[in-house]
Amino acid sequence: MRKDSTKRPPKTDEKKAAAPRRRLRAVNREQQIVDEAVNFFAEKGFSGQTRELATRLGITQPLLYRYFPTKRDLIERVFDEVYLNRESPDWSSLLTDRSRPLHDRLCDFYGSYSEMTYRYEWIRIYMFSALMGEKLNRRYIKIVEKKILTPMCAELRDYCGQPTIEEKPIRQIELDHIWVIHGGLFYYAIRKHIYHSRVSKDFAAIVSRAVAVMLAGSKAVSAELETND
Amino acid sequence: MRKDSTKRPPKTDEKKAAAPRRRLRAVNREQQIVDEAVNFFAEKGFSGQTRELATRLGITQPLLYRYFPTKRDLIERVFDEVYLNRESPDWSSLLTDRSRPLHDRLCDFYGSYSEMTYRYEWIRIYMFSALMGEKLNRRYIKIVEKKILTPMCAELRDYCGQPTIEEKPIRQIELDHIWVIHGGLFYYAIRKHIYHSRVSKDFAAIVSRAVAVMLAGSKAVSAELETND
DNA sequence: CTAGTTATTTATCATCTGATAAACTAGAGG
DNA sequence: CCTCTAGTTTATCAGATGATAAATAACTAG
């Protein structure tokens, strides 16, 4: 907008940070755009407008199109940035390390998992894209079921003295049961970042309690069912 | 639904149900628009376009504006339709009826609650509006905490032989703990209607198991904590 | 200091989209 | 069959919005 580009360093800096409008190297500008786009789309959803995004960046809207041919391309890039470009810890091994109590493993897992995914941008972009029917989500869920929930089922079986998953494959109902606690903890992030509810700061305490209850309860119920199942 | 009321039975019915375009009384048309809008916005989100909605209804777009001054007004009406216009059962009393086992009460509650809210339109419109930052959601959550979760906490206290909520008020952490199972069960609907995941049909079985585990686990953990809390 | 490269802006399009006004007509009442 | 009411359509607008092309200017190399 304001085009005082000449050499005078704009001491003004009026109300909206009248950017000195320096040039960036292509690579840096691109990353800057992606970073801001992640924030922007997390907040506004994917119907957020390119002009508003550009304004936030302090650049003009057509500049976006130098780096991304279409808005859709930018969105794809945002997905990559949030879901793919970051390597995830080896959660399977963390979960299946039977030298440690299952309670501790689960608490550690959710500590690590929440740090990575229970973030404002992650949660919201995930939900927006799910509502849009992006394939991304289904793929992600497949991974979660395979790398996280199935191992958990196996550990829970062991914990309750039930058959291994080799002896008796995991049933949908077991997966759904694990989804209740997994989803219940995830829901903490939904309440925080999507509903903007007041939630207690101490997520670790919530996890510890939920895990303890789940383990104790599972053992009790499992023993009970032993007879009639 | 079919409205070929005029004398000529349109044998055409070409590709898009070339509606006979009958007139409706204002009240009926309005209701028809609202009904379809609920479906439409649930599917597309609130950035769905009025023209497309009109096409689905087999009417022209300006006709919408005879019944609703602005798109926003229509959306508000959709909110009313989905969240307010339906009277909800008296869940508090169902939950606090101590003449019945808590397990049964909770199972019945979730049977009733899920029937009402775990629906395609309800879930999706709820999530869309939450992402938009509508006040509606926060209001709804307040109600849930007051009418459902707080009673649940009270019953759980009683079940575990802990102080009543009059003796010792509910803490945020207790509410958050109940949110884990409540949200975990709600997450079933999210997986079904937002993620389009395959979930087991038998939701009652999931509830029964989750409730049983939660109750048994809470009792066990509560007894354990008795000493050091 | 000059010239060349390329990051960035200005100007502009075509289409979409919410909204309005006026013309039209189905159907009820007489 | 006529007439009037009100439900519906046609035509159209203004602003928004994704995208493009050409002009401009910041930085770099020589």
pLDDT given for residue B21 in this prediction: 63
Could you say which of A180, A196, A205 has the minimum Cβ distance to residue B206? A180
pLDDT given for residue B225 in this prediction: 65
Chain B neighbours among A 117-156 (CB < 8 Å)?
124, 127-128, 130-133, 137-138, 141
Mean predicted confidence (pLDDT) in B153-172? 95
Q: How many Cβ pairs within 8 Å bridge chains A and B?
A: 156
Least Cα separation, residue A29 to chain B (angstroms): 29
Q: Which CATH superfamily is domain A23-82 in?
A: Homeodomain-like (1.10.10.60)
Q: Using the C1' atom of nucleotide C9, identify the protein residue whose alpha carbon is closest.
A: A60
Mean predicted confidence (pLDDT) in B71-82? 97
Give me the percent of chain B exceeding a pLDDT of 90: 83
Mean predicted confidence (pLDDT) in B183-191? 98
Residue B120, phi then psi, degrees to nearest 5: -50, -55
State the Cα–Cα distance between residues B58 and B82, nearest whole angstrom: 23
d(CA A92, C1' D13) / Å: 60
CB contact under 8 A, B215 and A217: yes
Q: What is the mean pLDDT of chain B?
A: 90
| Protein residues with beta carbon less than 7 Å from any atom of strand D | A 5-6, 21-23, 47, 49-51, 61-62, 65, 69-72; B 21-26, 29, 58-63, 66
Q: What is the pLDDT of residues B19-47, one digit of tens each?
A: 456 799 999 999 999 999 999 999 999 99
pLDDT given for residue B226 in this prediction: 62
Taken in order B175, B177, B179, B181, is the CA torsion positive or negative?
A: negative
Least Cα separation, residue B50 to chain A (angstroms): 15
Name the closest residue on chain B to residue A137, using Cα atoms: B195
State the Cα–Cα distance between residues A197 and B5, nearest whole angstrom: 51
| Assigned token pair, B154 | 């009270």
Q: CA nearest A140: which of A83, A87, A180? A: A83
Q: Which residue has the higher pLDDT, A201 or B228?
A: A201
d(CA A20, C1' C3) / Å: 25
Q: Report the 3 state secondary structure along chain B.
A: CCCCCCCCCCCCCCCCCCCCCCCCCHHHHHHHHHHHHHHHHHHHCCCCCHHHHHHHHCCCHHHHHHHCCCHHHHHHHHHHHHHHCCCCCCHHHHHHCCCCCHHHHHHHHHHHHHHHHCCHHHHHHHHHHHHHCCHHHHHHHHHHHHHHHHHHHHHHHHHCCCCCCCCCCCCHHHHHHHHHHHHHHHHHHHHHHCCCCCCCCCHHHHHHHHHHHHHHHHHHHHHHHCCCC
pLDDT given for residue B86 in this prediction: 80
pLDDT given for residue B34 in this prediction: 98
Whole-model pTM?
0.90
State the Cα–Cα distance between residues B163 and B157, nearest whole angstrom: 6
Burial B137-172, CB ≥16 within 10 A → b, else e: beebbeebbeebbbbbbbbbbebbebeeeeeeeeee
Name the closest residue on chain B to residue A222, using Cα atoms: B213
CB contact under 8 A, B186 and A185: no
Kindly list the domain boundaries of chain B, sorted by start residue: 23-82, 88-222
pLDDT given for residue A225 in this prediction: 65
Mean predicted confidence (pLDDT) in B41-70? 98
Q: Which residue has the higher pLDDT, B178 or B5?
A: B178
pLDDT given for residue B227 in this prediction: 54
pLDDT for residue B16 is more than 70: no
**In a 3-state reduction of DSSP, which class is residue A7?**
coil
pLDDT given for residue A9 in this prediction: 36
Mean predicted confidence (pLDDT) in B101-105? 98
Mean predicted confidence (pLDDT) in B8-12? 36
Q: CA nearest A220: which of A154, A161, A174? A: A161
Could you say which of B131, B197, B210 has the minimum Cβ distance to residue A194? B131
d(CA A53, C1' D28) / Å: 30
pLDDT given for residue A108 in this prediction: 98
Could you tell me which residues come within 8 angstroms of residue A108 by beta carbon, excluding any fewer than 6 positions away?
Answer: A94
Chain B neighbours among A 16-75 (CB < 8 Å)?
45, 47
Please name the helix (run of DSSP H) or strand (run of DSSP E) that holds residue A183, with its range, or none: helix A172-193
Chain A neighbours among B 150-189 (CB < 8 Å)?
172-173, 176-177, 179-188
pLDDT given for residue A157 in this prediction: 96
- Chain B residue numbers with beta carbons less than 8 Å from the beta carbon of A185 are 180, 184
Taking 70 as the pLDDT cut, the residues of chain A under it are 1-21, 225-229
- Chain B residue numbers with beta carbons less than 8 Å from the beta carbon of A216 are 216-217, 220-221
Mean predicted confidence (pLDDT) in B207-216? 98
